[in-house]
Copies of this chain bind each other. A is one copy, B any other.
Amino acid sequence: MPKEIAPSPGPPRRRAGRPRSLVLDGDLIGRTALKLVNDGGYTKLTMSGLAKALGVSPSALYNHVGSKQEIMQLIQEIVMDNVDSSVFESFPLTEALLRWAETYRDVLAGHAPLIPLIAVLPVTGSPRTLDMYEKVATGFTKAGWHQADIVPAIVAVESFIFGSALDATAPLDIFNPGKKAGQLPNFEDALDAQRATGRNSADAAFHTGLRAIVAGLLGTPATS
């Protein structure tokens, strides 16, 4: 559990003369970890690398954090804040879902190693993520949904987003049939036809799939 600094009304009380060492706190650790990841990807995120970036010994980190997993959670909290859930306040449900999903997927695509974590992590300790869910749920409620159907609908769209974000990190030629070339007539024809459109196949899949699942959930034709 990361320690937080409560905003204090006055200047912080300190014992006279004793200059406190530059503090390491959950916020700084999370931000530094994210910087490390943005620079060199998740392979760069090691406890010793993070400690060095903070000018501290690796074991010092364990005064503020229980495990490396907790550092992943700090990153997750910062990153999830970039998902735009305000759209549920300004757009009708269908349009809001489409826009929300788009930012959500883009955010996660840049942090693929977080996806298996986020999918499984209780949101209990992530107040901002809970705020997001409240906004999404409010969008469904205002659209007149039955309460019991709302959570499964959210989870369904989220699952699609998680999978699509993973897919977005796949190499472009992921479907290359290799030595099986020539033996898969229908699949290879479909591949060629898709390639001929010049569109990125992951992006095309995300957009048609998103429209499909939203339309399917809301009971309107996918093409509208």
Contact = CB atoms under 8 A, between A and B. Distances in A.
Interface of A: 112-113, 115-116, 119-125, 127, 130-131, 133-134, 136-138, 140-141, 146-164, 166-167, 169-171, 173-180, 183-187, 189-194, 196-197, 201-202, 204-206, 208-209, 211-217, 219, 221-223
Contacts of A160: 156, 159-160, 163, 209, 213
B163 A158 contact: yes
Given A120-B170, A134-B186, 20 more contacts: A116-B116, A119-B166, A122-B171, A122-B173, A141-B190, A147-B189, A147-B194, A148-B190, A151-B193, A151-B201, A154-B205, A155-B209, A156-B205, A156-B206, A159-B166, A209-B217, A212-B212, A216-B222, A219-B222, A219-B223
Chain A at the B interface: SS class? helix
Contact of A180 (B130, B163, B178, B193): B130
A120 B171 contact: yes
Nearest to A207: B152
Contacts of A162: 162-163, 166-167
Give the number of times this chain occurs in the complex, counting copies. Answer: 2
Nearest to A112: B116
Contacts of A116: 112-113, 115-116, 166
